[in-house]
With several copies, the nearest count.
Chain A
């Protein structure tokens, strides 16, 4: 169950560019979190920026009661988090939201990530490994600097396919190209999982639709509270049997949704 705590930063690893790995101690998150769930977190108790920020839980170490975030410092909130020193406190609420649903027996998990969208898939890959293969990960970015979370997947034994738009690493182009090629070649019985920019999510969802494959997408709207009260994060969702779409909170009913239920705008 989600718990609100002031938690210390226990480890900090700066990666290239604006990326950083932050490890915190938080028992409930470490023990209970599932891949696809997130935290609402803020560095210290300063007034700026006013709100906490949502981040996917990248990994957990239940034995040490720790969890790790993979984040890109792009604005005030992320920069403050990235600048934390070990021992500094963060205000953190989690685990939040609906996790990814595991693929049915005999289905291959194909994870498609763009940029920081890779974070939840490390955890998913670990969960999958526990019950079989670690899955196949299609990991895209603008250039090599945007696809930094590679070695942990390799350690897990997941198959990693990298694509960069500028060709500086892996296949040149969008990450959906190698995904499509793989589906063409292997025609697997598969479940797609996608996390990344909206355009990418939409592209993967269309592809899944065309191929008749189930697909779960993790959406990334602005979030104010993370617990269903601000109603800032609503997205149009239409479930089977519903006459019209409804605004649903991405924080409590998502962030993971069945891509067929999402009304793409």
Chain B
């Protein structure tokens, strides 16, 4: 049986629902020699500002139980160098290309988006309003619904490309932020970025990361990310990309069933660059086992128990 894995997200036709998450796949080119990038539904670039950024001092990463805490701080080449040097090399691969857009100010987000609007080969823009590892922008925008609206609105006006804000999990009610993005004209949502965490070296009594706090990713956060994806997907009409701790086909399916149209894979890229092939095989096997022909048939099929059932008594 031939099963269909292609999905459509905000007009972007992805050959499958697996996208490499921002900051965990470099600019894509790093993996060129290790795998066929054409296997992927899409790639999200590292976060890009107008200018090159040094990022934070080291140590920048530390392991946690089933997780990774990072404070890279958006080291990057800047949007112009990306367009000039990286993009031409990437466009030869048959996969969707999203760029993760950053800014210290609303204007900077708009400006970066404007530059990318004209760049050949860019499929869509992911708006990073949720990085916990920078002092301006980032989470400061994504933690305030009004600022969220403003950033998305400004980017919306700066580009005709699909606009995909990336939500922060460090909020009380993610549906408020999901709706603010939808109202500002977003085409889809990425859900979620990292959880703000702190790991302390008890010998030196200092944070293990030079930056202090960091963003928690990996399998540890998956249950929280699935829950937020489920909440966001029910709150808006635009498609949602699920992100957080995905490493297997089972994990992918949790997010799709919760309502995500596609998913992004982050930390697991560091652990096993060979995972895409395995996950695709396992997704196909799942569909066949369940007599399904199209991955879209599982999206949003979670049977959430009704109130009566959640209180079922003997």
Contacts and interface: CB of A to CB of B under 8 A. Distances in A.
Q: Do chains A and B touch in the complex (CB under 8 A)?
A: yes
Interface of A: 1-4, 42, 45, 47-52, 91, 93, 221-222, 224-225, 227-232, 234-236, 238, 244-247, 252, 263
Contacts of B218: 50
B34 A42 contact: no
A8 to B, nearest CB: 16
B75 A245 contact: no
Contacts of B24: 229-230
Contacts of A230: 24, 61, 70, 72, 270
Contacts of A231: 55, 60, 72, 75
Given A230-B61, A231-B75, A247-B75, A47 B273 contact: no
> Chain B's interface: helix, strand, loop or mixed, by majority?
loop
Contacts of A45: 272
30 contacts: A1-B33, A3-B34, A4-B34, A4-B273, A4-B274, A47-B219, A48-B65, A50-B68, A50-B218, A50-B267, A51-B270, A51-B271, A52-B271, A91-B272, A221-B58, A222-B62, A229-B24, A229-B26, A229-B30, A230-B72, A231-B72, A231-B75, A232-B59, A232-B60, A232-B61, A232-B70, A232-B72, A234-B75, A246-B314, A247-B314
> Chain A's interface: helix, strand, loop or mixed, by majority?
loop
Interface in B1-50: 24-26, 30-31, 33-35
B271 A245 contact: no
B314 A49 contact: no
A234 B58 contact: yes
Given A50-B67, A228-B30, A247 B61 contact: no
B189 to A, nearest CB: 24
B312 to A, nearest CB: 9
B26 A224 contact: no
Contact of A263 (B30, B61, B219, B314): B314
Contacts of A228: 26, 30
Counting contact residues on chain B (CB < 8 A from A), the size range is: 20 to 34
Given A227-B34, A229-B25, A50 B72 contact: no
Contacts, number: 94
A225 B23 CA distance: 12
The 5 nearest A-B residue pairs measured at CB: A232-B61, A229-B26, A245-B314, A225-B270, A236-B314
Contacts of A48: 65-66
Nearest to A238: B314
Given A224-B61, A231-B60, A234-B60, A93 B273 contact: yes
B34 to A, nearest CB: 6
B54 A247 contact: yes
Interface string B193-220: 0000000000000000000000000110
Nearest to A45: B272
B55 A227 contact: no
Interface in B246-289: 267, 269-274
B144 interface: no
A243 to B, nearest CB: 11
Contacts of A225: 269-270
A52 to B, nearest CB: 6
Nearest to A226: B270
A2 B274 CA distance: 12
Contacts of B219: 47, 50
Nearest to B275: A4
Given A232-B61, A234-B60, A42 B271 contact: yes
